[in-house]
């Protein structure tokens, strides 16, 4: 095998490991991820790049975050716990997440770059910002940061 493992190969390897170690949670989560990647591959009509696989995994992580929020506000801590555990497994495949300070620094750079000075320029800033931080930060958080910066 040449070079580093692709993300798709890593998911398959980790699924095998989870089967061997009888880690039910990891196994079901990874199976779900691989299934989502398969659907994306079928949609595209060809193999996915690591970047595209990353987009699928980021979407899955976002779904878990939303499910956790819904479960917590619905008083379903059991559901929230399961979703949190799955999110932890998914997050392991994602690049290291940026914190709010790092997002803000990049957002300020982008705002300067596009000459954004007020909230009406939010779309221009967000478009470029999300390209730069894709997979490394939650879009909702990035949106809040951009909003704050543009409001001054």
pLDDT of residue 27: 97
- pLDDT, tens digit, 9 for 90 and up, residues 76-133: 999 999 999 999 999 999 988 899 999 999 999 999 999 988 889 899 999 999 989 8
Distance CA 46, CA 42 (A): 7
Distance CA 56, CA 51 (A): 9
Start-to-end CA distance of the chain, whole Å, equals 52
**Do 36 and 55 meet the contact criterion of CB atoms below 8 Å apart?**
no
The residue that leads in pLDDT, 110 or 4, is: 110
- Give the CATH number of domain 7-91: 1.10.1510.10
- pLDDT, tens digit, 9 for 90 and up, residues 20-74: 999 999 999 999 999 999 999 999 999 999 989 999 999 999 999 999 999 999 9
Q: CA of 103: how far to CAs of 48, 54, 71, 74, 133, in Å?
A: 27, 19, 27, 30, 8
- Domain extents for the chain? 7-91, 100-151
Give me the CATH topology for the region 100-151.
Arc Repressor Mutant, subunit A (1.10.10)
Tokens for 125, please give them: 């800033």
Task: Band the pLDDT of 3: cuts 50, 70, 90.
Answer: low
Within the chain, residue ranges assigned H as helices are 7-20, 24-44, 50-73, 77-91, 100-114, 122-133, 139-151
The residue that leads in pLDDT, 108 or 5, is: 108
**Do 125 and 150 meet the contact criterion of CB atoms below 8 Å apart?**
yes
Which distant-in-sequence residues (6+ apart) come within 8 Å of 147 by Cβ? 119, 122
């Amino acid at each position: 095998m040449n070079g580093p493992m692709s993300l798709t190969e890593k998911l398959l390897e980790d699924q095998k490991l989870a089967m061997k170690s009888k880690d039910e949670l990891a196994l079901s989560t990874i199976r779900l991820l691989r299934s989502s990647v398969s659907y994306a591959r079928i949609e595209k009509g060809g193999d996915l790049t690591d970047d595209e696989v990353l987009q699928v995994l980021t979407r899955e992580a976002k779904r878990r975050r939303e499910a956790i929020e819904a479960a917590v506000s619905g008083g379903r801590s059991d559901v929230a716990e399961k979703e949190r555990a799955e999110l932890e497994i998914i997050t392991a495949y994602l690049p290291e997440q940026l914190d709010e300070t790092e997002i803000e620094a990049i957002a300020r750079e982008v705002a300067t770059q596009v000459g954004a000075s007020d909230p009406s320029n939010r779309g221009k800033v967000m478009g470029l910002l999300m390209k730069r931080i894709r997979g490394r930060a939650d879009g909702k958080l990035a949106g809040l940061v951009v909003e704050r910066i543009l409001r001054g």
